[in-house]
Amino acid sequence: MRPAVEAEKAGIPSVVVTLTNFVTVAQLAARAAGIDDLRTAEYPGAIGVHLPEIREKIINVLFDQIIDGLTKPGTGQASRAAGVFDPEEIVCRGSFDDVNHHFKGNEWTDGLPIVPPTRQRIEEFLRYTDRPPHEQVAILPQANLRAVPWNIAVNGVMAGCRPEDMPILIAAAEAIGDEHFNLNNIGTTWGITPYLLVNGPIIQQLRIEHAGQLISRGPNPALGRALGLIIRNIAGYRPGKNQMGTFGYPLAFALAENEAESPWEPYHVEHGFRREASTVTVGTTLNWGWPPSPYTRPDKSGAQSALELMCIELTKKPCLPLFAEGGPKGHISDVTFLLTPPVAKALADGGYSKGQIREYVYQNARVPVRELEWMMRYGLVEVQTVRGKVEAGLYPRDFLVGPDELVRVVSSPDIIHIVVCGDGGRNRMKTLDSGYTHFTTKEIKLPRGWDKLLAGRRA
């Protein structure tokens, strides 16, 4: 789709071939890139299960649409500037039920009741930032709207956040607006769910949960929900339109690292931030699956069992052919291991740093070439081969071995992230794997008089 948009801008007529369910997402993506009237040719049905019929459908269904799109004038016009609107305009007056009915009807909610974002509530949030209400924090694709403190606060109020959560929400909006995060592809049919990881002193200051049941307690659920609403209302993603998760999307969530019980330096320090700084990291995941229980004896066997389970976890992920992709454009997947304190301690007692754990998993998470190719053929949309990916520069040449030879399924140790959190009384780990987006961390900027503001809230 994107090459077609660039061709249209250059005056070259183009047609995008797409499935019927994806016409809307193609048009919205084109509009975000500057083309209002994208020409499309619709292939009916799911192409992955129509292989014997593809030729017939191209001839009888697609061909005439492509010819019409390329020969009829008057399409592919550049987008007109959007009308100016007042972001402080009152859009609804009435009862709690009236507000919720109006907001839900406009697709501004996630389907659950929201807290009405009154001026008074928004202004209370704005006390917790030194930024002017309409100063640009980021521009969020696909809608390409400006995220500013005012509309960030609106979504924070709706989600049920506290005013003092505002610095985290601003940093989160900045993170998803960073080109590195790649928000433009969050609408994939994979259904990737965004989440927040908080580090630093703000964890204790705002009592963000980092121990047992952490995503379901304290301020964490509201923080995650606010991230989801920001992606919906500022980035402009709507389920079934340009957010195409095949089975839908769980609500976004938030967690904090248990820095006090981690045997290693905190995640944000590991990535170059000062220990006394507070940060928020945005990641995504495809799953919230079964958490295995590694053997955690205080000797080498405990560390070894945890390492081997981490390797096994990666080799059982359905998108493992994508984990291995690197090449000139870099990796397209991230993997995060959430380790409870007992598991982290067993690894540290075994002499392993985070860097050594990443390197071990990188070297030892392996599958036979035969299994990798089977997954490419029957588990992904595009039918490819290991040799084809090597020739495209996506896999290294050492993948050119026999079908029963083992190859790595991780492109680099750098795609592996390790966070200590969760129930301190259980030996559990959880593997969050994703694609297209990349872990992005931003420092949380606190307002002047932060301590005084917090003291006033607690009084």
Q: Is 66 left (phi over 0), alpha (psi -120 to 50) or beta?
A: alpha
Q: Answer whether residue 122 is part of any domain.
A: no
Q: What whole-number distance in Å separates Cα of residue 158 and Cα of residue 229?
A: 8
Contacts of 15 by beta carbon, 8 Å cutoff, 6+ apart? 4, 39, 40, 41, 65, 66, 69, 70
Instruction: Write the DSSP string, 54-94.
Output: HHHHIIIIIHHHHHHHHH-SS--PBPPPPPP--TT-----S
Which residue is it, tokens 């697609």? 62
Q: Answer whether residue 49 is part of any domain.
A: yes
Q: Answer whether residue 11 is part of any domain.
A: yes
Q: Answer whether residue 119 is part of any domain.
A: no
Total number of domains constituting the chain? 1
> Considering all CA atoms of the chain, what is the largest pairwise distance in Å, rounded to the nearest integer?
74
Q: Answer whether residue 156 is part of any domain.
A: no
Retrieve residue 228's tokens.
């989801």
**8 A C-beta contact, residue 255 and residue 215:** yes
Which residue is it, tokens 């590195």? 180
β-bridge partners, 230: none
How deeply is 333 buried, as exposed, middle or buried, from its count of CB atoms within 10 A (0-12, 13-18, 19+)? buried
Contacts of 196 by beta carbon, 8 Å cutoff, 6+ apart? 168, 172, 223, 224, 227, 252, 253, 254, 255, 280, 281, 282
Contacts of 56 by beta carbon, 8 Å cutoff, 6+ apart? none
**Strand pairing report for 429-433 and 440-443:** unpaired
β-bridge partners, 35: 78
Domain that holds residue 6: 2-71
Q: Answer whether residue 129 is part of any domain.
A: no
**Strand pairing report for 429-433 and 335-339:** antiparallel
Query: What is the DSSP code (8-state) at residue 21?
Result: G
Whole-angstrom CA distances from 329 to 187, 192, 286 are: 20, 21, 22
Q: Answer whether residue 45 is part of any domain.
A: yes
Retrieve residue 61's tokens.
């269904």
Check: pTM over 0.85? Answer yes or no. Answer: yes
Secondary structure of the chain: what % helix, strand, coil (to 5)?
Answer: 40, 15, 45
One digit per residue, the tens of pLDDT, for the chain of length 459 reads 667 777 777 778 888 887 777 777 777 777 777 777 778 888 777 666 556 677 777 777 777 888 888 887 654 444 444 556 788 889 999 999 999 999 999 999 999 999 999 999 999 999 999 999 999 999 999 899 999 999 999 999 999 999 999 999 999 999 999 999 999 989 888 889 999 999 999 999 999 999 999 999 999 999 999 999 999 999 999 998 888 888 888 899 999 999 999 999 999 999 999 999 999 999 999 888 888 888 777 667 789 999 999 999 989 876 778 778 876 556 778 899 999 999 999 999 999 999 999 999 999 999 999 998 888 887 775 667 899 889 988 899 999 999 999 999 888 999 999 999 999 999 999 999 988 899 999 999 999 999 999 998 876
Q: What whole-number distance in Å separates Cα of residue 63 and Cα of residue 69?
A: 10
Beta carbons within 10 angstroms of residue 166's beta carbon: 26
Which residue is it, tokens 């958490």? 291
Query: What is the DSSP code (8-state) at residue 106?
Result: T
Retrieve residue 367's tokens.
């599958």
Q: Answer whether residue 267 is part of any domain.
A: no
